[in-house]
Each structure stands twice: as C-alpha cells, then as structure tokens.
C-alpha cells in the first residue's frame, strides 16, 4: 500500500518535472529542479530502506549505480555524438567475461590438456585473417582473387577446427561438474574492471571500423548482431566461460559476511550500534560495494563532464548537430565517431565487469537484450540525452521502477481483478502475466518521453 | 547411386530446409525493406509484429480447433491466417497513428523513428507475452508430411530418405504467391506505382499529387500482412515462441541489407542468401563426403565449418562483409 502511494507520488513529481506546462506549472529553475530530482531519488531509496529493509535498499542502490554507469556510456555515444548502439548487452557481457578471465582460479589440468591447442588455433585464426586481407589488398580484383579468398577462409576454418576441436574437448573433460574450463588468472577482481573496458573497446573498434561512416541505421544493426554473437559465444564456448553451467564463486573485492561475523571488531561494532551481527554484516558488504561503485561512477562522471565541456566536447556536439558543416570545418567525422563509440563502449564494458563482480558469478543465460540493451536506452532517453547528470538520474529512476514495478503491477492487477471470482480463468491469467507488464511499461515510458519531453528529465544545456 | 544418395542427403538436410527458411526470411525482409523505402527507417519492431500477427493467428486457430472446424489435411492455421492479418493490420495502423505519424509531421531524423520503433517493439513484445505467455506454443495440425523419409526410401530404393513437411510446402507455395501478388501490385496498379514513385523521390511524388498518407497507410498494411504470414509460417515450420522472433530480427535485417535496403527483389535474394549460408555453413558434411569418396578417405570428424549454435554469426558475418565491400547491397538500395 505504502509502496503504491510512494510510486504514485514519485510518478506525479516526474511528470511535473518532465512536462511542467502540461500540469499548468511554470518550469522550475534548472538548479532547483536537478537537485530536487536527485533528492527525491535519495529519499525513495531511503524509504525503501525504512519500509522493506536496508539490505533491499542497498541492493537496489548498487544496481542503480551500475545502471547509471552503463547509461553514462550510452550517453557518450548517443548524447554526445548521436550514435545508436543497440548492442549494449554484448559490451556488458564482455565485461563479465573479463571478470572471469581475470579473477577465477586457473585450472591447471585444463591448461595442460588443451591450452596449447587453443593457442595454436587462435594463432591460425589470426594468420587466416591476415592472409585473407593480404590477398584482398595485393591481388587485382578478379575471379581468381575471390576464389583464393574463399579457399583461404575454408582451409583456414578446417585447419583451425582440426586443432581447436580436440583441445576444446580435452579442456571440457577436465572435471566437468565443477570446472571443465581454462579458468582465469586468479588476480584481484578489481583488475577486471579496466580489462572489461578494454575488451568492450576492442569489440567496438571492430564494429565501428566497418559500420561507421555508412548510413546511421547500419551501426544499430551491426551492434545488434555483435551483441547476439558475443552472448552466443559466452553461452556455447564452455572451455572459456563454462557456458550455461555458469562460473560461480568469483572472488570478491570486499570482505565476506561469514568472515565479518567471526571477526571481533565487527561484532563489537554491531553490538555498539545495537544491530544483529548477521544482518549488519550483509549490509556492511553491500555498503562496501556501493562505495566502490560510487567511486567509479563519480570518476566516470567527472571525466565525462570534463570531456563534454572541453573543446573536444564542443566539436562532438558540432559534429552531431551538423555533420556536413563540421566536416567542412576540417573535422574528421568518421574518426571522431569511431573514437567516441569506442570510449562509450569502454564505459559499458567496465560497468558489465562490475555487475558480474557484484553477482559473484557469470550467468550467460541472464544476458537478455530487453534487460541489458533496451532498459539502458530508456534510462538515457528518460534522463535526458546529452546530459551526463541526466543519464545518471535516468539510471537510478528507471532501475528503481524496474524493480518496484513488480509489486506495483501485482497490486494493480489484484485491484482490477478483485471483482472477479477466485477461479476465474481471466483473473488467473492476468495475475500470472503481471511479470510481463514491466516490459510494456518501459516501452510506454520510452514512447511517452520521446514524444512529449524528448529532452528528458535533465535536458542538455 | 552413391552420387544420387549424396544428393538426396544434401537435399533433405540443406536444400529443403534452406528453401523454406529462406522464404520465411524473404517475407520478413520484404516488410522491413518496404517500410525502409517508404518511411525511411529500419523498423526494429518488425520481429515483434511478426510475433503479434502469428499470435492472433494462433488464437484463432485454437478457437477454430475447439469448434471442430478444420481443413484437413492442411493446418487450421491457414484458415485463421486472414483473421490474424486483419488484426495485425489494425494493430500496426494504430501504432502508426499513435506513434509514428507525429514524427512524420515533424520530419524527424530517421534515428528518432528507429528509437520510437524500439519503444513499439517493447510494447508489442509485452502485449504478446501478456496475452499468450513466453513459452513455446504448438498449433500445427493436419497432415505433417507430404513425403515421408521412409516412403521415399521405399519408393526409390535409395539408402537416403527425403522428407518434405507440409509446413515447408505451404511456406514455399505461400511465399511464391505472396511475392507474385506483391510485385503485381507494385508494378501494375496505380497505388503500387505511386508507392514506388514515393520511395524513389518523395518531393517529385508529392509534386505530382500523390497522397503521402495513403502511401504510408498502404505500406503499413502490406508490411503487416507480410509480417503475419512470415510469422505464422515460421511458427508452423518450427514452433511459436515470442523470444525467437526477437532473434529473427538479425537475419531479417541482414537479408534486407544484403539485398539492398529498399529493394524488394533484393530482400528476396537476401533472404535466400542468408538462409542458404546459415544452413550450409552449419551442416555437418561427414556423411555427404562419405558417399562421394572411397571408403578409406572417409573423414573421421563431422566436417562442420561452424557449430549450429552460431547460426546467427553467419548472418552477421555476411552483413559485415556486405557493409565492408558493397554497403548498398547486391541490388543497390538507397542510402540516407
């Protein structure tokens, strides 16, 4: 009940700030509006903490922070440069892979069994691509060249599979119930965050190199494709990521609850605060995560703001608003687009690695485009494309409602169907379908904001 | 004899499935390309429009089945298809009225349309899951095979069987009929010609008195029809699951781009290029080669270039190659 009231109150506030004229109010001054929007958000999370529990509130806060970083990354691409990335899921997943490759313990038997074969096939893949590029560049266009290219690729694939197949099988046979993959480097998981950024940046460079400079939709479709493929690889290459068997038990950058409960200083602290040690240990862990994530968020935000207000940022906006004239001023539009596309993807990759760190496991099946790509888009559009603070706020607001929409939705359905009989088929169907209401709600929010308040909650200056 | 067996084997596992799949992709890509030609944006909601149309068709099929109406040996879904198409047209026209028309009047950038279509996709996806649920639905009935593998073996005395499913037959026949009707419409009727004119040069078309609202409306009607047919055929051939239609978006876009966005012939060619490459690259040729070479040469691996898990990667690779070497597609589409 309280949650619903809360939801309605916030909804009203959001509407007021989105379209003041619609409800007959003068628009609030920028600074007051921005501060009060963030204050409302903080208040909402506090209320969740008071009503539900601090554990829930902090879990919500952590995911809000990660979502905000992803939204910042997308805002760099879309807000600064007008580039449409529909493959956010893929870049986030690459961050997750980085978390596994950096932090999981290496599986020595698997390395002995198949690492060489995998390495050889990787080298062969590089050689094949190089040979194909060399042939393409150095032989005059002709039927013979095309046949040669075809032969190189087919022979390359066959030879690679010759080495790769046995190596993969050997690795996957090593203790398949709990291992069956190469494992990682066993390094601290914090290192995976920048590495995740690098992975995502490399993928973005390849995509950008082919799809930028062509018509705008091509980038969207190419990113849609690369995201599907990255997730397919993560799901099916068991030797790398254990596939759908998941890699669980990744090390943490923060203490474990059980250690806290056994250490004297923590128990003392909890008793002094009058809290149950078991409960406060999990709150403490979440708080540690929140601090780490907040540091990254503030760093990314600070850098983005600096970049946006620098000559580089002005150039990016000039290119976005009029490519032709920016080009005429001597700006290399395609190169700048590539640069900003890679930068934004790096930020998304970092956030992806952070998400896997928070979960403590890589679950490839969890990478759903609706959750990872389109939800982030709603955050950016709702928050205010082109404004970093807007993207951060959008990340908070959308994630908050994405989580809280479920109780609101089921309450709504209960109310609507309360007049029907208990065993009414329609009623049962409606109650079972509330989970899908979230998608529809997000779609409707996206469409409404895009139409009635395209500049979002915190518009670009 | 060995040669014939090899050929039948290939037909059974590559040729027939690829033709059916290609027809489904071609119908989907035709819808995408048509919307691109007339409204000038890539419609991300198309996959979910297919799911919506197929869903309505399924609901009608179940209704007919419960009343005992059937057209045995053909699946009841064919009878329900017109109703599915009508509902889908209504739905698509409603989205155009509520969502896209506003941006059209504003002359918004194609990218804005694209994002709006993402919103529509979200909502459609939600509606479909809300009504029919996220799970697999079976709605195929009637005869399952035109030719069964075993009957084929008995008939011909060959070692390999060739099976031809009813759903595959219906797919191919329907696709041919629909494409003929579409091309007749585009090339012979006044409305079709005005649509082509509008697609080629909007300003000149407007100058010569073509009504843009009518052109747009007809484009949506055709796109919805094609989407429902493609969605239902795909559901009959494989099975209906809302999520798979989201994933079909990639091969459909790849098909439309390979053929050249905005070019109907290109969309058909693209659909078959994608379908054949996807199936040929992921087929294991071990048995096929075994028929052709002496016994001692027989390969001991599967001779599969890429595992079936990566069939999406095939359409994506083709897409990348086209973007790199011929961005306008095989049949030189338009650019924005």
Residue ranges per structural domain of chain B: 2-325
Contact criterion met (CB below 8 Å) for A48 and A384: no
- pLDDT of B56 strictly over 70: yes
Topology annotation, domain B2-325? ABC transporter involved in vitamin B12 uptake, BtuC (1.10.3470)
The pLDDT of residue B336: 43
The pLDDT of residue A296: 96
Nearest CA-CA partner of A352 in A58, A68, A70: A70
Is B111 in contact with A84 (Cβ distance < 8 A)? yes
Nearest CA-CA partner of B39 in B216, B207, B162: B216
Question: Best mutation site among B51, B103, B119 for testing chain A: the one with the most A CBs within 10 Å?
Answer: B119
Q: How far is CA A164 from CA A19, A121, A169, B118, B268, in A?
A: 58, 6, 9, 39, 36
A75-106 burial by CB neighbour count: b if 16+ within 10 A, else e?
bbbbbbbbbbbbbbbbbbbbbbbbbbbbbbee
Q: Which of A44-58, B107-121, B257-271, B301-315 is predicted least confidently?
A: B301-315
Q: Which CATH architecture best describes the domain A2-106+183-452?
A: Orthogonal Bundle (1.10)
Tokens standing for residue A411: 């309450």
The residue with greater pLDDT, A257 or B57, is: B57
B115-136 burial by CB neighbour count: b if 16+ within 10 A, else e?
bbbbbbbbbbbbbbbbbbeeee
Alpha-carbon torsion, ordered A123, A129, A130, A132, to 10 deg:
140
Residue range B182-220, pLDDT digits in tens: 999 999 999 999 998 998 888 898 898 889 899 999 999
The Cα–Cα gap between B167 and A385 comes to 47
Nearest residue, CB atoms, A232 vs list B110, B309, B319 = B309
Q: What is the largest CA-CA distance in chain B?
A: 73
The pLDDT of residue B61: 92
What is the total residue count of chain A?
461
Contact criterion met (CB below 8 Å) for B29 and B271: yes
The Cα–Cα gap between A43 and A174 comes to 51
- pLDDT of B115 strictly over 70: yes
ipTM above 0.85, yes or no: yes
A164 Cα to chain B: minimum distance (Å):
12
Banded model confidence at residue B101, pLDDT cuts 50, 70, 90: very high
A400-427 burial by CB neighbour count: b if 16+ within 10 A, else e?
bbbbbbeebbeebbeeebeeeeeeeeeb
- pLDDT of B303 strictly over 80: no
Q: What is the largest CA-CA distance in chain A?
A: 82
The Cα–Cα gap between A406 and A412 comes to 10
Contact criterion met (CB below 8 Å) for B76 and B50: no
The pLDDT of residue A258: 83
B125 Cα to chain A: minimum distance (Å):
7
Q: What is chain A's percent helix, strand, coil content, to nearest 5?
A: 80, 0, 20
Name the percent of chain B lying above pLDDT 90.
44
Ordered per-residue pLDDT tens for chain A, 461 residues: 565 666 666 666 666 666 665 666 666 677 888 888 888 888 888 888 888 888 889 999 999 999 999 999 999 999 888 898 999 999 999 999 999 999 988 888 888 888 888 889 999 999 999 998 898 888 888 888 888 888 998 888 888 888 888 888 888 888 877 777 888 888 899 999 999 999 999 999 988 988 887 777 888 888 888 888 899 889 888 888 888 888 888 888 888 888 888 888 888 888 888 778 788 888 889 999 999 999 999 999 999 999 989 999 999 989 988 888 988 988 899 999 999 999 999 999 999 999 999 998 899 888 988 888 889 999 999 998 889 999 999 999 999 888 877 777 777 777 877 777 767 777 777 777 777 778 888 889 899 988 888 888 888 87
The pLDDT of residue A349: 96
Is B42 in contact with A220 (Cβ distance < 8 A)? yes
- pLDDT of B304 strictly over 80: no
The pLDDT of residue B92: 96
Grouping H, G, I as helix, E, B as strand and the rest as coil, residue B147 is strand
Contact criterion met (CB below 8 Å) for A222 and A209: no
Grouping H, G, I as helix, E, B as strand and the rest as coil, residue A141 is coil
Q: Residues 71..100 of B with a Cβ closer than 8 Å to A: which?
A: 99
Contact criterion met (CB below 8 Å) for A451 and A22: no
Tokens standing for residue A43: 């208040």
- pLDDT of B273 strictly over 60: yes
Banded model confidence at residue B332, pLDDT cuts 50, 70, 90: low
Q: Where are the domains of chain A?
A: 2-106+183-452, 107-182
Is A152 an 8 Å CB contact of chain B?
no
How high does pLDDT run on average in chain B?
88
Nearest CA-CA partner of B309 in A93, A233, A162, A91: A233
Q: Which residues contact B146 (CB under 8 A, 6 or more apart)?
A: B164, B165, B166, B168, B169
Is B313 in contact with A232 (Cβ distance < 8 A)? yes
Q: Residues 97..126 of B with a Cβ closer than 8 Å to A: which?
A: 99, 102, 110-112, 114-116, 118-126
Is A221 in contact with B253 (Cβ distance < 8 A)? yes
Is B307 in contact with A217 (Cβ distance < 8 A)? no
The Cα–Cα gap between B227 and B51 comes to 8
Tokens standing for residue A293: 């994530």
Contact criterion met (CB below 8 Å) for B61 and B231: no
Beta-bridged to residue B240, according to DSSP, are B137
Q: Which residues contact A32 (CB under 8 A, 6 or more apart)?
A: none
Nearest CA-CA partner of B232 in B13, B34, B14, B56: B56
The residue with greater pLDDT, A202 or B327, is: A202
Q: Tell the residue number behind the tokens 């179940």, with chain if given.
A: B62
Is B183 an 8 Å CB contact of chain A?
no
B289 Cα to chain A: minimum distance (Å):
14
The Cα–Cα gap between B122 and A384 comes to 20
Average pLDDT over residues B278-292: 84
Nearest CA-CA partner of A204 in A92, A72, A111: A92
């Amino acid at each position: 009940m309280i949650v619903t009231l809360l939801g309605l109150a916030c909804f009203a506030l959001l509407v007021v700030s989105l379209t003041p004229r619609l409800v007959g109010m003068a628009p609030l001054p920028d600074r007051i509006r921005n501060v009060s929007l963030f204050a409302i958000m903080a208040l909402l999370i506090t209320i969740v903490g008071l009503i539900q529990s601090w554990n829930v509130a902090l879990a919500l806060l952590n995911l809000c922070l990660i979502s905000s970083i992803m939204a910042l990354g997308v805002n760099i691409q879309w807000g600064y440069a007008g580039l449409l990335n529909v493959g956010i899921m893929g870049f986030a997943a690459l961050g997750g892979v980085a978390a596994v490759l950096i932090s999981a313990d290496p599986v020595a038997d698997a390395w002995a069994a198949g690492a060489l074969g995998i390495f050889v096939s990787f080298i062969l893949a590089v050689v094949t691509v190089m040979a194909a590029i060399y042939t393409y560049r150095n032989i005059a266009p002709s039927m013979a060249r095309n046949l040669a290219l075809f032969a190189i690729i087919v022979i390359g694939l066959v030879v690679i599979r010759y080495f790769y197949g046995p190596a993969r099988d050997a690795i996957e046979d090593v203790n398949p119930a709990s291992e069956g993959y190469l494992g990682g480097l066993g390094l601290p998981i914090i290192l995976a965050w920048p590495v995740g950024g690098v992975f995502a940046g490399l993928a973005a460079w390849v995509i950008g190199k082919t799809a930028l400079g062509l018509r705008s939709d091509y980038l969207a479709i190419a990113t849609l494709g690369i995201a599907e493929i990255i997730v397919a690889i993560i799901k099916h290459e068991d030797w790398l990521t254990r596939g759908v068997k998941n890699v669980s038990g990744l090390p943490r950058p923060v203490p474990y609850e059980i250690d806290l409960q056994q250490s004297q200083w923590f128990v003392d602290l909890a008793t002094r605060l009058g809290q149950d040690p078991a409960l406060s240990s999990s709150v403490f862990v979440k708080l540690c995560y929140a601090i780490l994530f907040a540091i990254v968020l503030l760093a990314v935000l600070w850098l983005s703001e600096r970049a946006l207000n620098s000559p580089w940022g002005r150039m990016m906006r000039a290119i976005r608003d009029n490519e032709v004239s920016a080009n005429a001023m001597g700006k290399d539009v395609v190169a700048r687009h590539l640069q900003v596309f890679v930068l934004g993807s790096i930020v998304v990759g970092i956030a992806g690695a952070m998400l896997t760190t928070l979960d403590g496991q890589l679950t490839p099946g969890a990478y759903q485009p609706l959750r990872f790509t389109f939800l982030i888009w709603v955050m950016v559009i709702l928050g205010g494309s082109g404004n970093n603070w807007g993207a951060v706020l959008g990340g908070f607001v959308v994630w908050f409602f994405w989580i809280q929409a479920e109780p609101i939705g089921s309450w709504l359905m209960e109310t609507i169907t309360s007049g029907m009989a208990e065993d009414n088929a329609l009623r049962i169907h409606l109650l079972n379908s509330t989970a899908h209401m979230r998608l529809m709600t997000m779609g409707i929010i996206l469409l409404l904001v895009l139409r009635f308040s395209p500049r979002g909650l915190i518009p670009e200056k | 004899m060995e040669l014939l067996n090899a050929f039948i084997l290939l037909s059974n596992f590559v040729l027939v499935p690829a033709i059916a799949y290609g027809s489904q992709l071609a119908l989907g890509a035709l819808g995408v390309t048509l919307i691109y030609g007339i409204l000038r944006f890539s419609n991300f909601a198309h996959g979910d429009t297919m799911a919506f149309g197929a869903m309505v068709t399924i609901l009608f099929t179940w209704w007919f089945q419960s009343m005992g109406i059937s057209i045995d040996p053909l699946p009841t879904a064919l009878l329900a298809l017109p109703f599915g198409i009508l509902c889908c047209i209504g739905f698509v026209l409603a989205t155009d009225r509520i969502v896209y028309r506003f941006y059209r009047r504003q002359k918004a950038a194609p990218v804005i349309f694209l994002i709006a279509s993402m919103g529509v996709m979200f909502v459609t996806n939600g509606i479909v899951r809300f009504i029919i649920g996220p799970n697999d639905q079976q709605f195929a009935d009637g005869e399952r095979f035109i030719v069964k593998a075993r009957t084929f073996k008995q008939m011909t005395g060959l070692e390999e069987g060739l099976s031809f499913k009813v759903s595959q037959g219906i797919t191919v026949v329907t696709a041919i009929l629909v494409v003929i009707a579409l091309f007749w419409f585009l090339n012979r009727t006044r409305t079709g010609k005005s649509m082509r004119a509008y697609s080629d040069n909007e300003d000149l078309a407007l100058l010569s008195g073509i009504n843009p609202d009518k052109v747009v409306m007809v484009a949506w009607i055709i796109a919805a029809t094609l989407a429902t047919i493609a969605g239902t055929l795909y559901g009959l051939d494989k099975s209906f699951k809302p999520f798979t239609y989201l994933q079909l978006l990639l091969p459909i876009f790849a098909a439309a781009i390979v053929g050249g966005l905005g070019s109907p012939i290109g969309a058909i060619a693209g659909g078959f290029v994608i379908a054949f490459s996807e199936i040929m690259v992921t087929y294991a040729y071990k048995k096929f080669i075994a028929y052709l070479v002496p016994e001692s040469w027989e390969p001991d691996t599967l001779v599969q270039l890429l595992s079936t898990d990566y069939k999406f990667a095939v359409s994506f690779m083709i897409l990348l190659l086209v973007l790199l070497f011929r961005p306008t597609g095989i049949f030189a589409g338009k650019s924005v």
